[in-house]
Every structure is written in C-alpha cells, then in structure tokens.
Amino acid sequence: MATLTWQGRTIACGDESVLDALAREGVTVPSSCRAGACQSCLVRAVAGTAPSSAQKGLRASLVEQGFFLACQATLTDDLTAAPADDLPVTRATVLRVERAADDVARVFLRTDGAFEARGGQFVHVMRDDGLTRPYSLANRSGDGSLELHVRRVAGGAMSPWLCDLAAGATLHLRGPSGECVYRRDRPTQPLVLAGTGTGLAPLLGVLRDALDAGHGAPITLVHGARTLAGLYEDDALRAMAARHPMVRYEPAVLDAPEGDPRRGDFRARVAAVVKATKGARVHLCGPPETLRPVQRDTFLAGVPLGDIAADLFVTAPSR
C-alpha cells in the first residue's frame, strides 16, 4: 500500500483518492466537483511523482511544478505532497450584484492590485471559512473589474451566499485557471461559441476578447435554455449582434411556444451551426451531461480535438 506524506504526517492510501485519504484523516483541502473539472483541489508533489492521470487538463506550467488534482489521484507509489500555496490569491471587493433571472445573478468584483485574467478562464471564489467554488469570467480583467454569472442552487453551500452579497463585501480569489480562451493567434478562424445556462459567462468572455482584438471572421453564439426565462442575456446579445455584423446570436429554447424562432433543441442547433461553419474553433460551456454528446457530435463532424475547447460545469455537493 502506498503512503502519502502530508505536512509531516504519514497516511496510508489504498484504492481511495488522495482527497478522500486526506479527508479521512481530518485534513481539509478545498474541493468542489470531485470530477477533475473545477481544479479546486490542486495540491503539489514535493517528493515523488504525481500520477499523470491526475494532471489531465492542467496547463503545462502547473504540471512542470508538480501540481495535480487530489480528487483524481490514486497512489501506487509513495508520495510527499503539500497544499497549493504557490497559486496566487487575490482579495476582491463586491461592486454590485444584479439579478439577471429568477435563479441567476451577475456579481461584479474589483480586485485589489494587479490581476491578469482572460475572458473564459475561471477563478476559485474562497470564503473565510475555506469553502471554495469555481466560477467562470464573463470578461477579461482589464481594469481589475470582473463579472461572474452565478446560478443560485437551492440548498447550495456557496451560490446563495454569493448572490446575496452586498456592495463592499470582500472575498478572495485563487487563480485564474483554464484554457477555454480566445486564440489571439487565429484572428481569421471562425468561432462557434455554444453553452447552456450560466455556461454563457465564459462564452461572453471569449466573445468580448475576440471583439476587442478585432476578430476578422464570423462568430456564432448558441445559448441553450429550457424556457425563455433562461435566456437571461437575450436583449444584450441581440444588441451586440446588431452592432457587430460578424456576430450571430442563435438562442435554442426547448420549451418555447410553437412558432417562436427561438424554439429549438440545443444539440441539434449546435450541430447545424458547426456543419455550416467550416474550419471553426468551437467553445462548449455548461454541464457535462449536456455537453458530452455535443462534444462528440462536433468531433464526428470533422472538427479536430485541438479546435474543441470545453469548459464543463460540474455541480458541487451541497455541503
């Protein structure tokens, strides 16, 4: 049986993950999805080799430093690990919270000091009690202001608290992380941006970055929702498309009334857009149960894996 050495303690690890082994011993490591998507549970190998299976999706610079995802790491060899204290943590102040829909809020923050982030990346919001959850950025940091779209989850540990914050409240951000960003080296490659619910946030970040960079090819944004109320940025996106001829907005609402042009199946709508947009880079954002089939359809339609950027939103346990 492999052993994990953590801050001077030796912990026997069987078939469980490093995260579960630490929890069993009363060690708290920030975590959220436990599926390897959110990167909340990053820790660092300081002696021994981190399991490569626990480094999938991490940027190369983190892998080189020995970072790995504790929730995805099952040890076969002894390893010494430590908290991910090397990742930057930034204090932020709430500017305002706006209600975008019955269950969605826009949270606007301003960071203290320099904070470099790109639209489409995500940050880990950290409460004083240590609770940590990832949220994608709907804009690049630019002047230090950030926009998050938060879906209020009934019984959720983080989202109700975040949606109810008052202006002037403070919190901390770890990151940014994520590679689901606009490729500035491909200014003439068409873009297809597709997501459901608050998966719209990183897509807006990519779209805004592309427009700021003077992108020279068509950009199609598909936003899927179950009801019309789920199109919480409908008016703003229509206005954006009207201002920018290269931008096309394609809502797909499953339960829209018959005859409403916004009525449509998200998966089918994305497939049609991908088929009609040759040579595109495709960004997919939202829950994995919705996006996995779309990701597969996109690949089978001939889009190379290197041109499919996915940001999967995994809901954390309510604890």
Q: Which fold has domain 2-83?
A: Ubiquitin-like (UB roll) (3.10.20)
Of the candidates 194, 202, 244, 198, the one whose C-alpha atom is nearest the C-alpha of residue 222 is 194
Per-position DSSP letters for 248-310, written without gaps between them: EEEEEETTPPTT-TTB--HHHHHHHHHHHSTT-EEEEEE-HHHHHHHHHHHHHTT--GGGEEE
Contacts of 61 (CB under 8 A, 6+ apart): none
**CB contact at 8 A, 41 and 31:** yes
Domain 89-177 has CATH 2.40.30.10: yes
Quote the tokens at residue 292: 């996995």
Band (pLDDT 50/70/90 cuts) for residue 315 is low
Write phi, then psi, for 56 (nearest 5 degrees): -65, 135
Q: Which fold has domain 191-312?
A: Rossmann fold (3.40.50)
From-to residues of CATH 3.10.20.30 in the chain: 2-83
**CB contact at 8 A, 98 and 109:** no
Q: What pLDDT is stored for residue 186 in this prediction?
A: 93
**Omega of the bond leading into 160 within 30 degrees of 0 (cis):** no
Rounded to two decimals, what is the model's pTM? 0.79
- In this predicted structure, which of 62-71, 145-154, 293-302 has the lowest mean pLDDT? 62-71
Per-residue pLDDT of 222-263, as tens digits, reads: 999 999 999 999 999 999 999 999 999 999 999 999 999 999
Q: What pLDDT is stored for residue 8 in this prediction?
A: 81
Band (pLDDT 50/70/90 cuts) for residue 292 is very high
Q: Rounded to whole angstroms, how far apart are CA atoms 311 and 271?
A: 18
Quote the tokens at residue 255: 């339960």
Q: What pLDDT is stored for residue 311 in this prediction?
A: 80
Band (pLDDT 50/70/90 cuts) for residue 41 is confident
Distances (CA, A) of 84 to 5, 41, 45, 61, 81: 15, 9, 9, 14, 9
From-to residues of CATH 3.40.50.80 in the chain: 191-312
From-to residues of CATH 2.40.30.10 in the chain: 89-177
The answer to whether residue 190 scores a pLDDT higher than 90 is yes
Distances (CA, A) of 54 to 13, 33, 310: 15, 14, 18
Q: Over range 178-187, report the average pLDDT.
A: 88
Q: Over range 151-159, report the average pLDDT.
A: 90
Q: What pLDDT is stored for residue 76 in this prediction?
A: 86
